[in-house]
């Protein structure tokens, strides 16, 4: 994945636990990069190793860490560096989610070798959507949950997220029922 993902993880861990904890994580993951270049592609294994080591060192289950990271990605990384893209994605949570399947198309302009997730979104009742998430990477459903909570906060909308299908159980996608008040 592009270095911006690893960089953002580093920033989140340093903000929450301090730089010394990050050094322990690098050591445990056997990664020598002192910093990550946003626009350089790194092997996915680097990101997975960092998440695994961060979970071991902080004691936070990997799912919880990924969820926290999803929220951080929207509210900190996204807002700070790509606020205009988030704004262009929709004026409220519902519009943003309906537009989500096209969202990463714009990001190709910044990161041409992006291997983005794919989303399908359909209405589910008057105040909710059924969101399907496809990826060639495994294990990132908790990241999506965190992203959805982050978007809820971004649009000041209380949101519930229930995973209704999982790749872990013989589907080729994860599915979430997202609802708001
Ligand atoms: C703030 C603007 C955003 C930017 C700049 C951005 C950019 C990126 C980048 C660079 C990657 C790494 C992929 C790669 O290197 O091949 C990524 C992955 C991902 N993004 Fe976004 N993204 C943004 C917002 C979102 C939002 C709002 C969602 C969903 C709610 C989302 C869902 C994901 C997921 C799930 C992945 C993991 C990759 C996978 O599933 O295979 N992103 N994004």
Convert the pLDDT of each residue in 87-138 to its tens digit.
999 999 999 999 999 999 999 999 999 999 999 999 999 999 999 999 999 9
User: Exposure of 41 by Cβ count < 10 A (0-12 exposed, 13-18 middle, 19+ buried)?
Assistant: middle
Show the ligand 1 pocket: residues with CB < 6 angstroms.
1-2, 4-5, 74, 78, 82, 85-86, 100, 103-104, 107, 111, 114-117, 135, 137, 140, 143-144, 147
User: Based on the structure, what is the number of domains in the chain?
Assistant: 2
Instruction: Work out the number of other CB atoms within 10 angstroms of the CB of residue 71.
Output: 21
Q: What is the DSSP string of 123-138?
A: E-STTEEEEEEE-SSS
Domain around 50: 3-60
Q: Look up the CATH number of the domain holding residue 136.
A: 3.90.1520.10
> Do 120 and 40 fall into the same domain?
no
Look up the pTM and report it: 0.97
> pLDDT tens digits, residue range 8-44?
999 999 999 999 999 999 999 999 999 999 999 999 9
């Amino acid at each position: 994945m592009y270095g911006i993902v690893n960089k953002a993880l580093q920033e989140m861990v340093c903000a929450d636990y301090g730089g010394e904890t990050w050094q322990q994580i690098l050591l445990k993951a056997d990664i020598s990069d002192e910093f990550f270049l946003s626009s350089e592609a790194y092997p996915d294994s680097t990101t997975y190793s960092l998440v695994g080591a961060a979970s071991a060192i902080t004691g936070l289950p990997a799912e919880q860490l990924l969820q926290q990271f999803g929220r951080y990605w929207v509210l900190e990384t996204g807002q700070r560096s790509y606020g205009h893209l988030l704004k262009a994605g929709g004026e409220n949570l519902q519009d943003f989610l309906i537009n989500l399947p096209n969202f990463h198309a714009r990001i190709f302009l910044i990161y041409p070798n992006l291997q983005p997730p794919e989303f399908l979104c359909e209405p589910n009742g008057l105040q909710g959507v059924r969101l399907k998430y496809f990826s060639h990477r495994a294990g990132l459903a908790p990241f999506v949950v965190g992203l959805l909570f982050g978007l809820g906060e971004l649009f000041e909308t209380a949101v519930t997220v229930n995973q209704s299908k999982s790749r872990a159980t013989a589907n080729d996608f994860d599915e979430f029922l997202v609802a708001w008040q």
